[in-house]
Amino acid sequence: RNGDGRAVLRSSVREFLCSEAMHYLGIPTSRAASLVVSDDDVWRDQFYDGNINKERGAIVLRLAKSWFRIGSLEILAHSGELDLQRRLLDFIIQEHFPSIAMNDSNRYLEFFSTVVSETANLIALWMSVGFAHGVCNTDNFSLLSITIDYGPFGFMDSYDPNFVPNTSDDERRYKIGNQANVGLFNLSKLLQALKPLLDPRQKQLASQILEGYGEHYHIRFTELFKTKLGLLGENEDDNYLIAFLLKVSLLC
């Protein structure tokens, strides 16, 4: 795409602040350990108006428990490196999923089930604070379900399901109202990558697990918004009230 891959100081400061804000909002995220200003000049059209100016470059040092992503397994499956994929998956499970026994023949199924539910939880948390990631592809979705790769993100000032923080997303694929659907798409790609390691019974069960993603997301989304509204207990009108208030916010 003819990009140089460099970050400028203003976007790096923004990334630093946002990851810290997300952490203190209780949302799983990578964190910024330091920000280093570069001596290199970077040319950018800051306001996308045709005026290109020279800016200071910068690098943010980010920390996370793991940087393995859905794409980390997807690329190995695509290239047919199944032995390496199995070794990597076992390493990830052993290091980061202690509740899964390594001698369990269903460990990859348990792993997938955990990633499905935790991904649903993460996106529901994003929605609860009006956070739009901006580039929700498989290489930007953590297998540990944490927020990584802060790029063209944004917070909604007012509710708008069509809000897009990424100016290059002309098709609005990653608009905030589509994040849950994109999460499902990415998880389906993860399942596709895992299928060569699963037997026929496990494949069927994994498909059923994926079908439950929407319910996981809806339950968590509802819980978070009920908490924001101070709603106690269960009432059949809760979902209606949440939807109504979001619609009112859209009209305001």
Q: Is 1's pLDDT higher than 70?
A: no
Residue 213: how many other CB atoms lie within 10 Å: 19
The pLDDT, as a whole number, for residue 248 is: 85
Q: Is 47's pLDDT higher than 90?
A: no
The pLDDT, as a whole number, for residue 143 is: 98
Question: Which amino acid type is present at position 230?
Answer: G
Average pLDDT of the segment spanning 151-158? 91
Question: Which amino acid type is present at position 176?
Answer: I
Tokens of 17: 């602040």
Q: Is 244's pLDDT higher than 60?
A: yes
Question: Which amino acid type is present at position 25?
Answer: L
Write down the catalytic residue from 4, 49, 104, 139: 139
**Confidence label for 252 from pLDDT (cuts 50, 70 and 90):** low
Average pLDDT of the segment spanning 57-69? 96
* Lowest-confidence segment of 69-73, 81-85, 195-199, 229-233 by average pLDDT: 229-233
**Confidence label for 18 from pLDDT (cuts 50, 70 and 90):** very high
Active-site residue, 139 included? yes
The pLDDT, as a whole number, for residue 236 is: 85
Residue 8 CA to residue 32 CA, distance in Å, equals 15
Supply φ then ψ for residue 130, to 5 degrees. 70, 35
pLDDT per residue over 180-207, tens digit each?
999 999 999 999 999 999 999 999 999 9
CA-closest candidate to residue 34, choices 67, 60, 66: 60
Residue 64 DSSP code: -
Is residue 153 within 8 A of residue 131, CB to CB? The reply is yes
Tell me what the pLDDT averaged over the chain comes to: 94
Tell me the CA distances in angstroms from 46 to 12, 54, 58, 195, 248, one per residue in order: 14, 10, 15, 44, 34
Q: Is 175's pLDDT higher than 70?
A: yes
